[in-house]
Structure 1
Amino acid sequence: MTNEVIDLGNGLEIHFCLDAADTGAQFTLFKVVIHPNAKVPAAHYHDNFDETLYGLKGTLSLTVDDQVLELHAGDHYFIKRGRIHSFTNQSDETVEILAYANPGVFTSNYFKDILGVLKAGGPPDMARMKQIMLQHGLVPVANH
């Protein structure tokens, strides 16, 4: 089973629990650690998978379509594919959530590809970041 930590170096850590290879592509499961003032993904939607978030620690500010809500420890939220969403940690404490994506088409390779762009030095290549998002089923949404 997967037990891989991907530290994006921007206040986000991804702890993969189960990747597609572990579940026969049924789902992926990973913990996201979001430090205060972390750089988070642009508002986006998924075109080929649903995502469920479960709060483990702290309070996550989550926007889904035009609804703004807080996800606390013990709370959960189902994000159906096609719904625009984004999140931030607006608190002074570290937030942890568990993310369940199904089917298992969203894998740790997305975060590894993003890490490659972030480690290239200088400002991130935003065109390349968008290309990576699209390759992995995330569709960025500008001005949301």
Structure 2
Amino acid sequence: MILVLCTGNSCRSHMAEGILQRALGPRIEVASAGSKPAGYVHPLAVEVMAEIGIDLHSHRSKSWEQFFDRPVETVITVCGNADQICPTFPGQAHRLHYPFDDPAHATGSEEEQRVVFRRVRDEILKVFTAYADGRLASHA
């Protein structure tokens, strides 16, 4: 399993989970969680991911504690706070950190916030697609 972590598990980690799961396919399980779950997935994250054909409607915000008893091969943190306090998970062989701005902190009109969500989504798309391509190539 690949576990993508951030603090609130409301935006970045869900976007990364969706992108990575689509890129890797069903053979590799991808999940996301947070150190302090917000309790919801941000509606603008759901909206901008739908624009690229990834449905986050069934996603829910969850604590990384739910994964302490599961074999997690790779942990990827997407925010500095999660990277600093990240625990070690059973079976963990790899740990990566790709920091992204938190679009939940975007200000302005809803359209201005949407622009930030799209920018962060596109940054995550670029990084996680490249990661998935490399991973698939090395396990071929």
TM-score after normalising by structure 2: 0.30
Q: Which has the higher helix share?
A: 2
TM-score after normalising by structure 1: 0.30
Q: Which has the higher strand share?
A: 1
